[in-house]
Chain A
Amino acid sequence: MKLRVACAIVICILSVSLSSAVAGAIQYRNYNYDFWGEPVPGPQAYILSRVITGNDLGVGPLREPADIFVRDGLGIFLLDTGNSRIICMDEEWRVVRVIDSFQRGGQIDRLNRPMGLFVTEEGHIYVTSQGDGRVVVLDQNGNFVRQIGKPETDIEGLIPEGFVYRPSKVVVDQAGRTYVLATDQYEGLLEFDVRGRFKGFIGAPRVRPSLADYIWRKIATRQQRERMGLFLPTEFTSIDLDSIGFIYATVPPGDSGRYDAIRRLNPSGEDVLRRQGFHSPIGDVKYAEQWTRASVWGPSIFVDIAAQDFDVYSALDGKRGRVFTYDGQGNLLYVFGNIGDYVDAFSNPVAIDTIGRDIVIVDSGARCVKVFKPTEYANTILSAIECYYSGRYEESTELWSRVLSMDANCDLAYQGIGQALLGQDRFREAMDYFRLGNDRTGYSEAFGYYRREVVAEHFGTLVLCFFVVLALIYLCVRYEVWSRLDRWLAEEDEDSGFHRGSSGVRVDL
């Protein structure tokens, strides 16, 4: 008996230490935020599958790689900024071509600090050359096609004076319009038409001075006004294009955070991102504030964003090295990644893209690209979203149940099952699931139907109750119950000799 107990204890200790050793191998944890903004742990969503350095590719060390682009069928394009070259690879990471120079007008031309690149479906490579202020378009073989230079316009005042054009990121939509993000430029994205003519700025975040700002401006002297900061709209940090031609853009949050750190711009430049989750997609909801002991404080700063299928998108927080993945409604799905010196942590993550469901991160500091594979957990979530999207609700419910078996804290899974039950007219059960998933809107809807059912079932009883209550009220009024009660209480008072003035001594013979 004793021996068995001892054995059991040893096994317990061993298994605990082993499991912690295994868990310790990954330098980050998956978590999600619940309805009240508290972080809740979850199973690992993505794990490192491989690290790719320049030497692995056989092209020599990378220097400050800045961007990566994956185009299905065409391969992977890595922008090696420090070496001013584009490394073209197939989907198996085999180098096909290295573009470091190209022929333009009979002369050899080079890129000058290229910061962003985009590859169209036809295989045209758009690359920004920040140092000399142009966007170069190359074909798949590295031949020069054309270039888009400085924005020029007849409209006066559209482009500010002393404007230095430093393009950093670029996307091209299906219609051939080019959108360029330029550094230190606050008017929004620059839009160029198919022929490379400047059309204007879009998506400029509107500036709304607060009332206090307005009043201060009014009472300040001119010298003071001049010394005040300008009301500058914020600058975007990065952009990506989704499958229907909408632009995902990231905005630095400032010190205090903002609800629209991620935006989804439609072709007319309006933000149409859905923010139906518990919290806006801002990355970390809870974070250390300034003046605390934390070495890293303040909200997440997204440095890049990658659109995935079915409106899912992943944003990379450069400050803490975390990748936040959201669904089309704005629900946080999972988080992975960390800053550190371990192999699965980042030193200075700058760009993110996806190959199928794999997520690729460019680490400028570690001069490498890190590929992360989804675990079964993340895969099941993505499949459930996919099924729901394509209308296969039954299958989606099954997948959400599997997610729940892996993670009982997954609010989204409860909501998903609740939605499916609601579709099957199982209102009472749907209510339970919505409640577990903290989905008040869904719960309200299910409850509305359920209430209608109950009322229809007990209509007679309810009407009876209503009339009984009416009758009681009528009787109370008819027989002046309150006054009688009051009188009775007062009489008793008199009787007990209370409330009698000193002069009003009554003699009771």
Chain B
Amino acid sequence: MAFTAGVRGYGLTYRQRQKLTVKKVLRSLLYSLFLIFHPNDSFWDLKYERRGNVPAATIILGLVVVTYVFMRQFTGFIFNPIDLTRLNIAVEVMSVLVPFFLWCVVNWSLTTLMSGKGTFREVYIASAFALTPLVLTLIPATIASNFLILEEGPFIWVLVAGGVIWSVVLLFIGTMVTHEYDTGKTFFTCILIVAGMTAVLFLGILFFSLLNQAYVFAYSIYRELIFR
């Protein structure tokens, strides 16, 4: 008895042993800072050395959402053409989450058919980690925009564009490593994914539009019946 009790992890189920500690998640988050500079090896480790995990990815995604809202709200007056009185946080949050999950879902759906090696979980983790540069560039850019004048605007644009391009490159490499594709195939897949996202979006809008029409139709019949 004493022997077994002394063995760490013994008597725990597999699921319990997989349980993540706070430190594990923190370490994964810390790893994202390494990853953005060494994407090729790091995405591999993210997948096969289990350096990434879903909570860490979700935290990064949350940070991206917060960053985006922060940028929209707090960019300096000179560089912020939005009407702040009409800023809707729900819409802003959705404008990050919807494209992101659309990317993940379409990415997984397509690569499943194209002998990709990644699971949905891995796609999600890799995609979220690839967005780390956005957090690192957009927040300083937003803060700086409050202290710069119009003529110094290019600094901000360079920072923002740099962050976005960096993230796009990481998304590309992430897809490539996760599915064990070569460059050409990844490129082709990425184009397909974007096309797929458009198609899904189109279908979604069509669906809601039809739903709305059906509702209006039913409602008008109801009104006719009531008033006649």
Q: Which residues of A contact B (CB under 8 A)?
A: 35-36, 435, 440-441, 443-445, 447-448, 451, 482, 485-486, 489-490, 492-493, 496-500, 505-509
B50: chain A residues within 8 A (beta carbon):
499
Interchain Cβ contacts under 8 Å between A and B, 11 examples: A440-B150, A444-B150, A447-B149, A489-B26, A492-B23, A493-B23, A496-B21, A498-B20, A499-B24, A505-B10, A508-B7
Q: Is the CB of A485 within 8 A of B30?
A: yes
Chain A binding surface, main DSSP class? helix
Q: Is the CB of B30 within 8 A of A443?
A: no
Which of B10, B19, B27, B83 is within 8 Å of A489, CB to CB? B27
Q: Is the CB of A507 within 8 A of B33?
A: no
CA distance in complex: A39, B127 (Å) = 42
Q: Is the CB of B27 within 8 A of A490?
A: yes
With an 8 A cutoff between CB atoms, is B15 at the interface? no
Chain B residues with a Cβ closer than 8 Å to the other chain, count: 27
CB distance from B51 to the nearest CB of A (A): 10
CA distance in complex: A489, B51 (Å) = 12
Q: Is the CB of A498 within 8 A of B24?
A: yes
Q: Mark B25-55, 1 if CB is under 8 A from A, else 0.
A: 0110011011000000000000000100000
CB distance from B22 to the nearest CB of A (A): 9
Q: Which residues of B contact A (CB under 8 A)?
A: 3, 6-10, 17, 19-21, 23-24, 26-27, 30-31, 33-34, 50, 77-78, 81, 83, 147, 149-151
Q: Is the CB of B6 within 8 A of A509?
A: yes
The 9 lowest CB-CB distance pairs between A and B, nearest first, are: A497-B8, A444-B150, A489-B27, A497-B9, A444-B149, A448-B149, A492-B23, A489-B23, A444-B78
Q: Is the CB of A498 within 8 A of B6?
A: no
Which of A36, A485, A492, A496 is within 8 Å of B83, CB to CB? A36
CB distance from A371 to the nearest CB of B (A): 39
CA distance in complex: A508, B8 (Å) = 8
Which of B7, B9, B77 is within 8 Å of A435, CB to CB? B77
CA distance in complex: A306, B77 (Å) = 36
Q: Is the CB of A447 within 8 A of B10?
A: no
B149: chain A residues within 8 A (beta carbon):
444-445, 447-448, 451
Q: Is the CB of A486 within 8 A of B27?
A: yes
CA distance in complex: A296, B30 (Å) = 61
CA distance in complex: A492, B33 (Å) = 20
